[in-house]
Amino acid sequence: MKICALLALASAIPASAQSIRLLHQSFDVIPGAAEIHGFEHMAVNDSGEWVISAVMVDLAANMSAGHAVFGSHGLVVYSQDLIPELGATDLLRPLDLGITEDGDAVFVAGIRPAGVPVKRALFVNDTPLLHEYRPMAIAAEPGALWTYIGDAVTTPEGRVVMSGLMRRPGLPNRNVIAEYRLEGQAVTDGRIVTVQGDLPAGSTDAVRSLVVRDAGEDGRHLTWGRTASGNYVLLQGNEILGGSGLPSVIPGVNWDATFFEALGSVNSRGEHAYVAGLSGTNPIVLVKNGEPLYQALDSHPAIAPYRLLRFSTLPSRKGDQPHLLESGSVVWAARWDHPAVLLGGGLFLDDSLIIEEGVTTLGSKTINGIRSDKMGVSPNGRWVILECWLSEPGQAGPTYGVVLVDLAEGVEYCSPAAPNSTGSAAAMTANAPRVAAGEPLGLVAHGLPASSMGYFLVAPAPGFTVGAGGGQGTLCLSQPIGRFLPQAMGTGPGGFLSATVDTNALPLTPNQAVLAGETWYFQAWYRDLNPTLTSNISSAIAVTF
C-alpha cells in the first residue's frame, strides 16, 4: 500500500511554473450589469479568489452605466440596482476594496438615498453594515455616530479597520480609527483604536487626523496623518515611524516637510514596509523594519545599467504602497531611467523582477504598462492582481486589462493535509519567481494554529508516512530529511510560518547545495493541541530549480 501510494504520488508531481492569467479587459460584458469602461480597485485572497470594482458603460446607448463590483464568483453589486436596506436609488463609486478569506467583498461606497444628500456606507458584498449618521455599533460608545466614513482596510480573517469622523452626543466631530470584526452580514466587537487628541509615544504633539494605511494585530495599525502642530506622521499603533522634518532612515538626511508619500503595509508579526519622501536630492526611499532597502538613484542588478527613479510605475507618482507579506518578503513597484518609452517599469518580489514592462508576455500579448497604484497582493504572497496595458502585433492600440499572477514556485502535493485544531489543514507555498539553484527560496505555511511553533523540512525525494513521529500528520518526504531548526519560529496570531532558506546549504548531513535541474521537496512540521498535545504536518511542495 505504501509503495503504491508513493509511486502514484511521484508520478502526479508536474513541473513548476509561474503563471499570468487575464481576468477581464475593457468592454467585457459583466452579466447582470453592463460593459467594463475602466478598472478602479482590486483585491485577492490567499486562495486566489478575487474582486474588482469598475466603471461601466452602455456601448449601445453610448452612455455611462454606473459602477459594479464583481469577482471570481460573478457580480457582487451593481450601482443601478436598488439597495433595499437604505432606500437608495444609486450606489456611487466603490472605494477601498478588500476581500476576506471567505471570498466576501468589503468596500466603502457612496449612496444616494431618495431626497437626501449623498452619504457613505461600509458594505459586505451587497449589504450595507455601517453608514453615516447612524450608530457606530460600538458598545463602549453608546449614541456615537459616524458622520464621515473615510478609508477602510480589510484583513483576511475578517476584521475591518476604518478611519473617519465620530460624533458623540453633545460633542463636536472627532477623527478616529475604529476596528470591527465581520461576522457574516454583521459587524461585532467594535472598538475605538485611536481618537483625535491621543499622544504618540514619546511625543507632546497630539494627533489631529489620521488615515488608515493597513491593518495590523493588537491595534498596531499603520496610519498616516497630521498632528496638532500641522506636521505629518506615519504611525504603527502608537509608535512614530517617521514624520515631517524628523531624521530619516538615511544617516544625515531628514524626512521631507510634508512626508506626503508615506504609503505602506504591515503583517501579523508587526513588521512594516513603506515608501516616504526625503529632503534633498534623493526624494524617496523604500523602507522595511526601519532600514532602507532602496532609494531613488540606486542601481539594481535586475535592471543594470539603469537606476531607480521612483517606487511607482507611473511617471506622475513618486511611490505606491509596497505590500509586506506574512513571510517578510516585500512586493514593490519601480520605474527606472530606461530611455525607451515602453520600457523601464516593473514589479519586484524582494530583489527579483517578476513583471517587466515591454518584456513580460501573456500569450501573444505583451504587458507594456502596469498600474502599480491599482494592485492587490494576497497575504501569503502567492497571488498578485493588477491592471496593465496589453498590446499584440497588428493591434491598433493597447487593451486595458486585469491580470492575476501566480508567484508560487513548486507544485503542492499531499493536499489537503490532515486537519488541525483550527478545523482546517495547513498548506505550503514557496515564493521565489524564476527560482534558480543558489538563489534564496521563500517558504510559507499557512492555516496553522495560532501561537504555536514549527519549522520547515526538506528532502531530495517524496515519501508517504501516516502518523509520522506519533503525530496526526502525514510525512510526505523520504530520508534523508533536513530540518531548518535555526529558523524555527512561532506561528503568531495569524497562524503562519515563514522562512527564506539558503539553497546553497540545505540542512542535510553534510549541508548540500541545490544543482540546476534538481527537484527538492518541502513540508512544515508544527505543534498543536488537538485536543491533547500533539504534532501535525502541512501539505508538501515540490520545487524544480
Distances (CA, A) of 457 to 221, 243, 415, 432, 477: 33, 43, 16, 17, 8
Number of residues that make up the chain: 545
Contact 477, 462 (CB under 8 A): yes
Domains defined for the chain, CATH in brackets: 409-544 (2.60.40)
- What is the per-residue pLDDT for 268? 80
Instruction: Say how far residue 534 (Cα) sits from the centre of its chain.
Output: 32
DSSP state at residue 382: S
Handedness of CA 413, 416, 418, 423 (dihedral sign): positive
Distance CA 297, CA 192 (A): 41
Q: Which residues contact 306 (CB under 8 A, 6 or more apart)?
A: 299, 336, 337, 338, 344
**pLDDT at position 314:** 87
| Adjacent-strand bridge partners of 511 | none
pLDDT band at 412 (very low <50, low <70, confident <90, very high): confident
How many Å is the Cα radius of gyration of the chain? 24
| Model confidence pLDDT, tens digit, residues 54-79 | 999 988 888 888 899 999 999 999 98
The arithmetic mean of pLDDT across residues 469-479, rounded, is 93
Q: Could you tell me if 347 and 330 are in contact, meaning their C-beta atoms sit under 8 angstroms apart?
A: no
Mean pLDDT over 495-524 rounds to 89
The three-class DSSP label of residue 338 is: coil
Predicted local confidence at residue 462, as pLDDT: 92
Q: From CA 498, how far away is CA 430, in angstroms rounded?
A: 9
**Distances from the Cα of 204 to the Cαs of 199, 350, 445, in angstroms?**
6, 37, 42
Cut 0.85: pTM above it: no
| pLDDT higher than threshold 80 for residue 2 | no
pLDDT band for 131, please (50, 70, 90 cuts). Answer: confident
Mean local confidence (pLDDT), 29-51: 93
Vertex 364: Cα angle to 360 and 369 (nearest 5): 40
CA dist 291 and 309 (Å) reads 19
Nearest to 496 by CA among 289, 326, 324: 326
> 262: helix, coil or strand?
coil
Selected residue with higher pLDDT from 372 and 218: 372
> pLDDT value at position 377?
92
- What is the pLDDT confidence band of residue 31, given thresholds at 50, 70 and 90? very high
Q: Per residue in 149-188, pLDDT tens?
A: 999 998 877 899 999 999 999 999 999 999 999 988 889 9
- Distances 20 to 340, 363, 403, 404 between C-alpha atoms, Å: 24, 9, 7, 6
Confidence of residue 84 (pLDDT cuts 50, 70, 90): low
Look-up of cell digits 517578476? 354
pLDDT of residue 3: 30
% of the chain surpassing 90 pLDDT: 47
CA torsion, points 359, 363, 366, 367, in degrees to nearest 10? -90
The pLDDT score that the predictor gives to residue 329 is 84
Determine the average pLDDT of the residues in 38-42: 95
Quick one: pLDDT band at residue 83, thresholds 50, 70, 90? low
pLDDT, one tens digit per residue, over 277-311 is 888 765 789 999 999 999 999 998 889 899 999 99
User: Mean pLDDT across the chain, nearest whole number?
Assistant: 86
Nearest by Cα to 373 from 333, 414, 417:
333
Predicted confidence at residue 70, as pLDDT, reads 96
Q: Please give the Cα distance from 98 to 376 (Å, whole number).
A: 9
| Cα–Cα distance for residue pair 108/128, rounded to 1 Å | 9
Is residue 17 very low, low, confident or very high in pLDDT (cuts 50, 70, 90)? very low
User: Secondary structure of the chain: what % helix, strand, coil (to 5)?
Assistant: 5, 55, 45
pLDDT of residue 118: 72
What pLDDT, in 10s, does the model give residues 528-545?
A: 999 999 999 999 998 887
Residue 10 in this model has a pLDDT that exceeds 50: no
Beta strands in 407-470 (DSSP E): 411-413, 427-431, 441-446, 453-459, 462-466
Q: What is the pLDDT of residue 149?
A: 94
> Residue range 89-96: average pLDDT?
77
- pLDDT tens digit sequence for 308-332: 999 999 888 888 999 998 778 899 9
Question: Does residue 333 register a pLDDT over 60?
Answer: yes
Taking only the tens place, the pLDDT of each residue in 368-390 is 999 999 899 988 778 999 999 99
Q: What is the pLDDT of residue 493?
A: 76
The answer on pLDDT for 435 being more than 60 is: no
